[in-house]
Amino acid sequence: MAGELLDGLTSDPVRMGWMQGSPPPPEKVLLAARADHMRFPMIRWSYSNMRQFVPTRRVAASGEGRPFERALRPDLADVSFVPLGGDDPVAFGQSLAEAFTDGILVLHRGKVVLERWLGVTGPQTRHIAFSVTKSFVGTIVEMLADEGRIDPAATISAYLPELAGSGFADATVRQVLDMTTALDFSEDYADPESGIGAYSAALGLTPRKPDYAGPADLWSFLPSVAKAGDHGRGFTYRTPNTDVLAWLVSRVEGRHFADVLTERLWQPLGMLGDADLIVDQAGSPFAGGGLNLRLEDLARFGEAMRLGGLGVIPAGVVARIARGGDPAHFDRTRYPQLPGWSYGSQWWISNNGHGCFSARGIHGQTLWVDPAAEMTIARFASHPTAANGANDPLSLPAWAALADALSR
């Protein structure tokens, strides 16, 4: 079935039979040695079970968290919208399978008004969030800057002399936060020979070639990233920026990034469950995309941001993040579906009339905050296409239609 054209229904991991049985049939076993966990349609199971494939470090909850109150509105499934570039309206409930959704929570004024679980994903599943992880990292860096412990105008090499010979050396912390660094690094998910391919090999997210002789962990890989141009001239999305920020946080705090995340956000926000952060063989964190967490905890992070930080994240930090980076730096050619947007502090900023901002990860991971509509949306997905341009035509108008329905 892996060679067939599968949609969001026919690729359902339960229907596909992945890892079912004691033991599962050989043809239904997923193995890290074959990189099964990163190939469609197997990702429909693996993204909800990443601890079986890669090493992780625990981000511990306090055990004192409480679920959101439910005030479910079945009518929201019937809210319709026209996809970007389309002609015919689609019902929101119908769009979930089309977007390869694994789970979604819609909150309005702090209550869950829509909740759906698909495939093998459920309320206690730790699903990989991919680059949504970046927004947790950026928020912590902004918190440390607010405390005066990190200077956004300082160069990276002032904090991390290990990067003095790299392309990051003379970049400022702010330029790394806003991804306006000029680096010889290509983030082309479809090209295994691109920079992201070398990054993945160093991380060990998938098996390395037998003759691989490159860096064996991220701390060894980052110094090898060279400079290409002048920093500060434009936004270019590159994941290693985030790993540099996590390294910076660990250096300033004197602790592993997972422990900082635990103490700075996880426990103070009252997350319901532990999370798992992917690490490489040296224990360096996959801060650019390795957080695995419950969907309700992702929504809790979004609600904290919507409500000005809830006393955990300083209100000034939330305001700084919501302002975003310079829209003039945004890459309009690469992101034609995001007109007027900007990027800053590891967050995506819509600059629309609702003041929406978002954390986004490949294959459809989303945290959407709409302050004007008092709405927060958290979604996990396992879309066969990595880049968000594949699901934005459905997702962006869907979020707007839900906001309109909830604002009436």
Residues of the chain by 3-state class (helix, strand, coil), percent to 5: 35, 15, 50
Rounded Cα distance between 319 and 325, Å, is 12
Active site residue 224: no
Contact status, residue 103 vs residue 122, Cβ threshold 8 Å: yes
Which candidate in 95, 131, 350, 358 is catalytic? 131
Strand ordering across the sheet containing 347-349: 111-117, 101-108, 375-381, 365-370, 357-361, 347-349, 342-344
Of 327, 271, 236, 328, nearest to 136 (Cα)?
271
Rounded Cα distance between 38 and 50, Å, is 10
Of 145, 164, 161, nearest to 153 (Cα)?
145
Tell me which residue has tokens 């040296």: 282
Max distance between CA atoms of the chain, in angstroms, equals 61
Which 8-state DSSP code applies to residue 378?
E
Which two tokens mark 219?
Answer: 């701390």
What is the CB neighbour count within 10 angstroms for residue 253? 16
Question: For residue 277, what are the CA distances in angstroms to 138, 237, 296, 378?
Answer: 16, 21, 17, 19
Contact status, residue 180 vs residue 234, Cβ threshold 8 Å: yes
Considering Cα of 69, then 73, then 77, then 81, what sign does the dihedral take? negative
Rounded Cα distance between 153 and 286, Å, is 25
Rounded Cα distance between 341 and 331, Å, is 9
For the annotated catalytic residues, the residue numbers are 131
